[in-house]
């Protein structure tokens, strides 16, 4: 139904008055006018940029390297100048975010251009590494909107743990150092990210990115703990000292108590730290139990998510609790398939699987309903 149809319905039902209806219609007309004007201007700018890009691309080989480089550097410098000029101007917030977004992306293309001009034989991940660390201070200090903050967070989640672990993996064959890096990254990286996101000065001045960092820390912790249950019960290398996982398990427990004893941290934040430390502890479990078993892997996964759900229950995060229950249900079903997958070959197998799916679904709904009462 159109907005006018809805307004008519609401006016007839006595929910809004005729003058309110007229005011809403006027507002919408005004907004639509601005939207058309802005949309046309944006489409025009986009078309010009596209045309310029095509002209440059078609003549790329004929453009001297120095011209390519200095033009690109000039555009980047101009964008930096614009961001600086608009840094405290609240009316230019959108302009600044746009300029920051383009400077962020164009820094990567400038690195690629330098690689092309000087025929550098580096790998793509080396260019991404340089780009990420060069631009991170700028993003942390200038990004105020959620769009760039979340994009940066996605790059962070995908890139940083991979880079940390793979760099150490490539530089040493010592399994003690490799495992220590893995467990250290899983525990200390989310904790460090959470600490930065909770730093009062940072949280007050860069609210969007501080919120993103705090969420990111939890996502990373959940990812590490889940991944360790999926990966490390299968591909085992035993050539490392038991002291490595024991040390990190001890560190996870120690850090949990250290943060819980600090009076300056609120109880809600303490539960988040509990979750991060719990994830760090769970990453060490496959290396302590030395089990190569699908059943162990499933128990690991389910017990971690059950404890995470309990912590969210305590914090009152009803949606997160529901999510935990759903994840556990899916894992249970996958576990069933892993153990009794052979039954799928027969008609009885399909019937059994259907019954199990219905059973798990009903049980999950019942648990969620029960818990939602406490979490809401």
Residues in the chain: 376
Cα 93 to Cα 99: distance, rounded to the nearest angstrom: 10
Q: 15, 23, 54, 134: which one contacts another protein (CB under 8 A)?
A: 134
Q: 2, 34, 91, 121: which one contacts another protein (CB under 8 A)?
A: 121
Q: 24, 127, 128, 138: which one contacts another protein (CB under 8 A)?
A: 138
Q: Which stretch binds another protein (CB under 8 A): 113-121, 146-154, 271-279, 317-325?
A: 113-121
- State the number of CA atoms in the 13 A half-sphere of 366 facing the CB: 6
Q: Which positions from 19 to 58 touch another protein by CB under 8 A, shown as an x/- string?
A: ----------------------------------------
Q: Is 329 in the site for another protein (CB under 8 A)?
A: no
Those residues with Cβ within 8 angstroms of residue 24's Cβ, 6 or more apart along the chain or in another chain: 3, 7, 16
Q: 76, 260, 289, 303: which one contacts another protein (CB under 8 A)?
A: 76
Name the residue nearer to another protein (CB basis): 100 or 222. 100
Q: DSSP string spanning 270-329?
A: HHHHHHHHHHHHHHHHHHHH----HHHHHHHHHHHHHHHHHHHHHHT-HHHHHHHHHHHH
Q: Is 114 in the site for another protein (CB under 8 A)?
A: yes
Name the residue nearer to another protein (CB basis): 7 or 209. 209
Q: Is 202 in the site for another protein (CB under 8 A)?
A: no
Q: Is 118 in the site for another protein (CB under 8 A)?
A: yes
Cα 59 to Cα 159: distance, rounded to the nearest angstrom: 34
- State the number of CA atoms in the 13 A half-sphere of 234 facing the CB: 8
Query: First CA to last CA across the chain, in angstroms?
Result: 33
Tell me the site size for another protein, rule CB under 8 A.
29
Q: Is 155 in the site for another protein (CB under 8 A)?
A: no
Q: Is 87 in the site for another protein (CB under 8 A)?
A: yes
Q: Which stretch binds another protein (CB under 8 A): 135-143, 152-160, 217-225, 272-280?
A: 135-143
- Cβ-count burial of 59 within 10 angstroms (0-12 exposed, 13-18 middle, 19+ buried)? exposed
Q: Which stretch binds another protein (CB under 8 A): 74-82, 146-154, 217-225, 338-346?
A: 74-82
Residues in the site for another protein, rule: CB under 8 A? Answer: 60-61, 69, 73, 76-77, 80, 83-84, 87, 103, 107, 110-111, 114, 116-122, 134-135, 137-138, 140-142
């Amino acid at each position: 139904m159109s907005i006018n149809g809805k307004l008519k319905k609401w006016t007839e039902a006595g929910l809004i008055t005729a003058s309110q209806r007229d005011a809403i219609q006027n507002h919408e007309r005004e907004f639509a006018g601005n939207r058309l004007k802005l949309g046309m201007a944006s489409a025009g700018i986009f078309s010009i940029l596209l045309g310029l890009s095509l002209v440059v691309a078609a003549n790329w080989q004929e453009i001297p390297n120095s011209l390519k480089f200095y033009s690109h550097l000039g555009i980047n410098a101009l964008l930096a100048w614009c961001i600086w000029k608009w840094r405290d101007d609240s009316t230019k917030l959108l302009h600044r975010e746009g300029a920051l977004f383009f400077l962020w992306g164009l820094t990567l293309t400038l690195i690629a251009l330098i690689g092309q001009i000087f025929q550098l034989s580096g790998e793509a991940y080396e260019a991404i590494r340089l780009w990420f660390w060069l631009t991170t201070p700028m993003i942390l200090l200038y990004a105020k909107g959620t769009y760039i903050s979340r994009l940066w967070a996605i790059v962070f989640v995908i890139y940083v743990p991979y880079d940390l672990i793979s760099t150490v993996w490539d530089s040493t064959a010592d399994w003690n150092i490799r495992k220590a890096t893995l467990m250290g990254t899983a525990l200390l990286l989310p904790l460090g990210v959470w600490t930065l996101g909770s730093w009062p000065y940072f949280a007050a001045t860069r609210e969007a990115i501080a919120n993103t960092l705090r969420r990111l820390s939890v996502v990373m912790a959940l990812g590490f703990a889940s991944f360790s249950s999926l990966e490390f019960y299968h591909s085992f290398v035993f050539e490392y000292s038991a002291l490595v996982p024991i040390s990190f398990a001890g560190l996870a427990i120690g850090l949990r108590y250290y943060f819980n004893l600090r009076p300056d941290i609120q109880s809600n934040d303490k539960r988040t730290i509990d979750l991060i430390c719990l994830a760090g502890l769970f990453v060490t479990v496959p290396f302590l139990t030395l089990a190569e078993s699908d059943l162990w892997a499933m128990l690991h996964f389910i017990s971690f998510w059950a404890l995470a759900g309990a912590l969210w229950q305590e914090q009152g995060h009803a949606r997160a609790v529901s999510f935990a229950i759903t994840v556990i249900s899916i894992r249970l079903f996958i576990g069933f398939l892993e153990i009794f997958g052979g039954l799928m070959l027969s008609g009885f197998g399909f019937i059994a699987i259907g019954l199990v799916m219905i059973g798990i679904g009903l049980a999950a709904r019942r648990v969620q309903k029960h818990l939602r009462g406490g979490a809401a």
